Structure 1
Amino acid sequence: MRWLRGGDDAPALRGRTAVVVLAVVAVVSLLLGLLLSRLVVSPAQAAAAQRPPAAGPVTVPVEERVVASTVVLRADVAYEDPVSLSLETGDLGRPAVVTGRVPEVGAQVEAGAVLLEVTGRPVLALPGELPTYRTLRAGVSGPDVQQLRAALAALGISAGDPSDADYDATVAAGVRALYDRAGYPAPEPGDELTAAVEGAQDALTAAEEGLAGAQRALDAARRGPATDAERVRLDGDVAVAQAARDYAGTQCALPLETRDPAADCTPPTLARLDADVAAARAARSALEAAPDTRAEAADVAAARTAVERATADLREAQAATLTPFPASEAVFVAELPRRVDAVGVARGQTVGAGFVTVSGATVTVTAGASEEDAALMPVGTRGTVDLDGEPLGVTVTAVEDPAADAPQAAPGGAEGEGATGGDAGTSDAAPTDERRVVLTFDAVTPEQELALQGTNVRVVVPVSSTGSEVLAVPLAALSAGPDGGSRVEVLGDDEARHLVPVTTGLAAEGYVEIAASDEPLAAGDLVVVGTAGTDDGQDDGQDDGQDEGDASDDATTEEASS
């Protein structure tokens, strides 16, 4: 700290500091000078920079790549076959108020599923073409019963012969199984019908009791009024009468001296004894004769008829109580499953016409294509659709001719009639080669379906490809030779240029496949695509353009021929 106090070393220290400062200033000045010398351009340098570069070829390397030809289409995305659903509520007997199970847009409606809940009851979606127009119950017959049988069978529920048009116990059992699967109790037949069954059952019981009583009366009449004691008495009368006659006959046959003095052998007495025997036997035989039971038999027949009538009434009443299928609890839709596109009702509202709009559950992509492009895309051809940078796979499912579906003008019409707008539905427009290409997505999520619906998308369909990497050059590298063949100009290691005839393959996306060449070519070899730095570069460009066009035509021809 001596220099602070003005010691002897202070002058020397100040001298060293001045030297350091001067050195720093010198270095900074040198650097600034070098920088400025770089930025300052002399007239000679400016003139040299403006001169054109030396003439030379523009080259690109031969590549190994997959060459693929694609067809690009604009297509509309939509769900096929929209259907507006309505509910038959005429038999409901009260306002058709929605109480729950309102579907959401985008939900899928499956066969047998609950589409809506109205007044606490389900509305079931079933497959079928015929709309619901009446409640199906016992005694009903028609094609709607056959449709119900077929719908139940499609769900794996036994419902009898689908061709049987009568609503019977088999169909009713199937309906109960359907409601059980849906998680709702089956419809009840109603209190009046239940009471009718109970009354018919009581009537049958009374008729059966009447028949039993009539049968007992008939059995008693057939046995007659005689008792066992009476039979014994009559048998005794016959025995006594016969014994008296036998004794008289025996005594009267004896000599007078030996016969019983009391024996009366006079003819009247013997005749009376014979009459007594006959009377006793007649009385006994009368006891065994069949009684007259015609009245009792008639009572039994009448009672049996009453039982049969009561049985038929009971069967009819029971048939009327078969589980019905209310019209207000079913909607038939062709080709389930479907997708909910729009919902026109909310909980607490009354169901009206078109309460739900459904469409096909499959998203379809429809595009227009020329006849030539359509020929390159047969059914089964795969492609991609870009959705926010994510490629989605699609497959061609149909190629249609719209002109084939258009109505034709009536034959024999006056010339020029179509041009003035004849009858509606006729058309004499010029034929078009446009085709309708229908594609379906391979797999999409519900979120993607919502994002795609109603949009216009770009569809890329690869129609041909080399499949693997091949040697390829830009189309600009091709030129036409004197013989009409294709050739490329190769730049050698010694900067020498020479033409090599080649055979081209598939051309697509600005590149063409080199299928064969007169001398070996390899990836990395340089081929000339133009010339730079010449005053006649415009002419060279035109020539190159012509060569490129010729090469493109040649490549297309090669592709078509392959």
Structure 2
Amino acid sequence: MLTNTVKLRGDATFDDAIELTVAAGELDGAAVVTGAVPDVGATLNALSVALEVAGRPVIVLPGALPAYRTVRAGNSGPDVVQVKEALRASGFDPGSSDTYDAATAAAVAAMYEKAGYAAPAVDSAAASALEAAEGAVAEAAKALAAAQRELAAAAKGPDQARRVELDNAVKEAQRELAAARSAGEPAAIDRAEDAVVLAQTQRDVALAAPDTASEAAAVAAARTELSASQTALETARQAAITPLPANEVQFLPTLPRRVDEVRTERGKTLDGAALVVSGATLSITAEAGSADAKLLRAGQKATVELADGSETDAAVGTVTPQTAKDGDKNKTGARWDVTLALTSPRPQQIEQLRGQSVRVDIPVSATDGKVLVVPAAALSAGPGGETRIEIATGRETRVVPVETGLAAEGLVEISGKITAADRVVVGR
């Protein structure tokens, strides 16, 4: 089998190292490390606790923008967008708005629960305002209930006993009128008739629909006050949602990350960077000429030579042309950057490759099984442009036309009226 292989030199590196520094954030006292100090070589993923400071976690999230403020209710901006994207990428639903709202706060609280810590405390002023708003709603509800009871009582009118009493007064006046008429005394009759009219009028007035305008107005005012209190309560609740302190989150542009250096320990007060982390995935970066680059494609299998001479498998990742800089004599595309990723390296192999310049072999084509090959110098061109070789038979030679195939490492695949036993003339 004949194989055409692109051979390159590449550098084995991790992503650039980053110093992990904890922001001041909401810390009231000294930034004392209380736990969760990782070992060198540990891997940090999204939601990993990189460190515990003053009893609170420093949670790792994906993102390129450093945490520069504590985000609270109503905040917006690129940092809030990044928080939402990081939460969403980590499996939480922060809501669809561009502001830090109740949905975002709920996602943050869920993140802390998954990390094994209580959610950050709400600002004391916001907590006090919420308590006061809840009290105002309770009082407004009581006032409305009292006003509604007064309206209901006023709307009832006189009870049954009062109704009977009023009816009896009319009947009594009518009986006195009848007696006066029987006696035939005009003055007594006039007085009795007036008494009947008065009793009937008093009954009609007492039994008429009661005037509840003032009580109804009191109910409307109480209902308005309750609505305003409920609106204020919702505002207070929004202001009192779970914040995300700047000192309790660490955004890293690529994950996972490998801990290269630990500069602190439990019980120590933080001063400067606590950790140095680099990319956890080793990659090979090589450079190729345009001719080789044209043969390369993402996903092609490759092998990387280790320091001990053994090899490990890899695959081509990207093949991108270099851009010519000002004053650069090389044209854009004359040189290409090639990245490769190791397929399944063992930890010992990663350590061998770390920071090394390595040889990379990338097979780009191969024949299907065994084929006849000759040195490239054995080929010549005929008068009609055909490709031919010269075969030696004793002291005689004869020219035989052939078809060529794959060429690699100075050899060329051929086919035609030739066998493996034939001897070819080279270099004439």
Fold conserved (TM > 0.5)? yes
* Distance change in 2, residues 1:231/1:380 (3 Å): closer
Which position in structure 2 is the counterpart of 1:401? 321
Report the residue type matching 2:75 in the other structure.
Answer: V
Paired amino acid for 1:453: R
* Counterparts in 2 of 1:316 and 1:473: CA distance versus 1, 3 Å: closer
After superposition, the C-alpha distances for 1:408-431 in whole angstroms (9 at most, x for unaligned) are: xxxxxxxxxxxxxxxxxxx23323
Tell me, what secondary structure is at the counterpart of 2:323? helix
* Structure 1 position 466 matched with structure 2 position 367: yes
Shift of 1:204: 3.3
- CA shift, 1:470, in A, is 2.2
Determine which of 329, 335, 343 is the counterpart of 1:434.
Answer: 335
Aligned-residue offset at 1:296: 4.4
Separation of aligned partners in 2, 1:319 and 1:221: 40
Q: What amino acid is aligned across from residue 331 of structure 1 in structure 2?
A: Q
1:114 to partner: Cα distance:
2.0
Paired residue secondary structure (1:72): strand
Structure 1 residues 130 and 283: alpha-carbon distance in aligned structure 2, compared to 1, 3 A threshold: same
CA distance in 1, matches of 2:261, 2:164: 99
Shift of 1:342: 4.4
Secondary structure, counterpart of 1:398 in structure 2: strand
Letter in 2 for 1:135: T
1:112-123 alignment, distance < 5 Å: 112-123=47-58
Counterpart CA distance in 2 for 1:233 and 1:185 is: 70
On the 8 A contact 2:25/2:70 being kept in 1, the answer is no
Shift in Å, 1:312: 3.7
Superimposed CA distance per residue, residues 455-504 of structure 1 (whole angstroms, 9 cap, x where no aligned partner): 1011222334334222345678x4869978422435xxxxx454354536
Q: Name 1:239's counterpart in structure 2.
A: 171
Structure 2 matches for 1:98-117, cutoff 5 A? Answer: 98-117=33-52
Answer yes or no: is the 8 Å Cα contact 1:77–1:454 preserved in 2.
Answer: yes
Question: Among 213, 234, 251, which residue is 2:146 paired with?
Answer: 213
The 1:150–1:273 alpha-carbon spacing in structure 2 relative to 1, beyond 3 Å, is same
Task: Give the corresponding residue for 1:326.
Answer: 245
Contact 1:112 1:126 in 2 (8 A): yes
Q: Does the CA-based 8 Å contact 1:88-1:132 persist in structure 2?
A: yes
Alignment map for 1:149-548 (pairs within 5 Å) = 149-161=84-96, 164-189=97-122, 193-194=126-127, 196-223=129-156, 228-246=160-178, 249=181, 251=182, 263-266=183-186, 268-289=187-208, 293=212, 295-351=214-270, 354-387=273-306, 388-404=308-324, 406=325, 427-432=326-331, 433-472=334-373, 478=378, 485-489=388-392, 496-499=394-397, 501-502=399-400, 503=402, 505-509=405-409, 511-517=411-417, 520-522=418-420, 525=421, 527=423, 547-548=426-427
Kept in 2: contact 1:137–1:322 (CA 8 A): yes
Q: Distance in 1 between matches of 2:189 and 2:229?
A: 66
Kindly provide the CA deviation profile for residues 82-132 of structure 1, in whole angstroms up to 9, marking residues without a partner as x.
544443223222222333333344443322222222222221222234332
The CA distance in 1 between the partners of 2:220 and 2:410, in whole Å, is: 104
| CA–CA separation in structure 2 for the residues paired with 1:185 and 1:269 | 92
What secondary structure, in the 3-state scheme, does the structure 2 residue paired with 1:403 have?
coil
Q: Does 1:137 align with 2:72?
A: yes
CA distance in 2, matches of 1:528, 1:313: 98
| Contact 1:112/1:182 (<8 A) preserved | yes
Could you tell me which of 89, 94, 108 is aligned with 2:24? Answer: 89
SS at the partner of 2:329?
A: coil
Q: C-alpha displacement at 1:213, in angstroms?
A: 3.1
User: 1:403, 1:431 within 8 Å by CA — same for their partners in 2?
Assistant: no
* Paired residue type of 1:431: N
CA drift at 1:195: 5.1
Kept in 2, the 8 Å contact 1:87–1:352? The answer is no
Distance in structure 1 (CA, Å) of the matches to 2:46 and 2:36:
16
CA distance in 2, matches of 1:182, 1:272: 94
The 1-side partners of 2:422 and 2:113 are apart by: 77
**Within 2, Cα distance between the matches of 1:230 and 1:76?**
105
Q: Secondary structure at the match of 1:399?
A: strand
Cα gap change, 1:446 to 1:207, in 2 (>3 Å): same
Whether the 8 Å contact between 1:479 and 1:488 is mirrored in structure 2 is no
The percent identity for this pair of structures is 42
CA 1:315–1:437 in structure 2 vs 1: closer, same or farther (change >3 Å)?
closer
How many aligned positions are there? Answer: 420
Q: Which has the larger radius of gyration?
A: 1
- Greater share of residues in helix: 1
Q: Gapped runs of 5+ residues in structure 1?
A: 1-65, 252-262, 407-426, 491-495, 530-546, 551-562
CA contact (8 A) 1:396 1:438 kept: yes
Q: What is the one-letter code of the residue matched to 2:347?
A: P
SS in 1 for 2:81: helix
**Matched letter for residue 341 of structure 2:** T
Deviation by residue 1:239-275 (Cα, 9 ceiling, x = unmatched):
13223434555x5xxxxxxxxxxx2254x34333322
CA distance in 2, matches of 1:314, 1:507: 80
* Aligned counterparts of 2:304 and 2:43: Cα–Cα separation in 1: 23
Paired residue type of 1:241? A
Counterpart in the other structure of 1:260:
none
- For residue 75 of structure 1, give the secondary structure of its aligned residue in structure 2: strand
How high is the TM-score relative to the length of structure 1? 0.65
* Paired letter, 1:447: Q
Q: CA shift at 1:341, angstroms?
A: 4.5
Compared CA separation, residues 190 and 506, structure 1 to 2 (3 A): closer
Q: Which amino acid aligns with 1:400?
A: T
